[in-house]
């Protein structure tokens, strides 16, 4: 069965960087893209960006441009999201999600369990 397993919680100081991993299994990794979505405490869902696991093409949310980098390692079926110059308002749970194909309307059909990133001095 399809699974996305994310790395563990992180605590970072303002100005630092964090890199979250998302290991996929149960499907052909390069056949689907991965999106990253975050959720600040008590808030809604915020789309951060998308990466094609096929060719590495990316599309980032404008507000994060210059601070976020999404990559994949096809040899290990793992996606990564790095966020730099962390601020307190980056404190959130970060999710990876598989972007389904046209047969599921390009919706996010499988999600990782989430990774809490806390930014605090």
Partner 1 sequence: DIQMTQSPSSVSASVGDRVTITCRASQGISSWLAWYQQKPGKAPKLLIYAASSLQSGVPSRFSGSGSGTDFTLTISSLQPEDFATYYCQQANSFPRTFGGGTKVEIK
Q: Which residues bind partner 1 (CB under 8 A)?
A: 35, 37, 44-47, 49-50, 59, 61-62, 95, 97, 100, 104-109, 111-114
Secondary structure percentages of the chain, helix, strand, coil, to 5: 10, 50, 40
State the nearest-atom distance from the C-beta of 26 to partner 1, in Å: 14
Pairing of strands 115-119, 10-12: parallel
Q: Which is nearer to partner 1, 32 or 95 (CB)?
A: 95
Closer of 15 and 101 to partner 1 (Cβ): 101
Nearest CB to partner 1, comparing residues 80 and 95: 95
CB 76, min distance to partner 1, A? 22
Measured between alpha carbons, how far apart are the two ends of the chain, in Å?
A: 40
Q: How many CB atoms lie within 10 A of CB 58?
A: 15
């Amino acid at each position: 069965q399809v699974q996305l397993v994310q790395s563990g919680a992180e605590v970072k100081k303002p100005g630092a960087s964090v890199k979250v991993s998302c290991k996929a299994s149960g499907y052909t990794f390069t056949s689907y893209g991965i999106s990253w979505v975050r959720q600040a405490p008590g808030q809604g869902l915020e789309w951060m960006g998308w990466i094609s696991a096929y060719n590495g093409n990316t599309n980032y949310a404008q507000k994060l441009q210059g601070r976020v980098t999404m990559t994949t390692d096809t040899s290990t079926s793992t996606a990564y999201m790095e966020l730099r110059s962390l601020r307190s308002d980056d404190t959130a749970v970060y999710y990876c999600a598989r972007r389904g194909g046209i047969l599921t309307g390009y919706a996010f059909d499988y999600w990782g369990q989430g990774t809490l990133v806390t930014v605090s001095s």
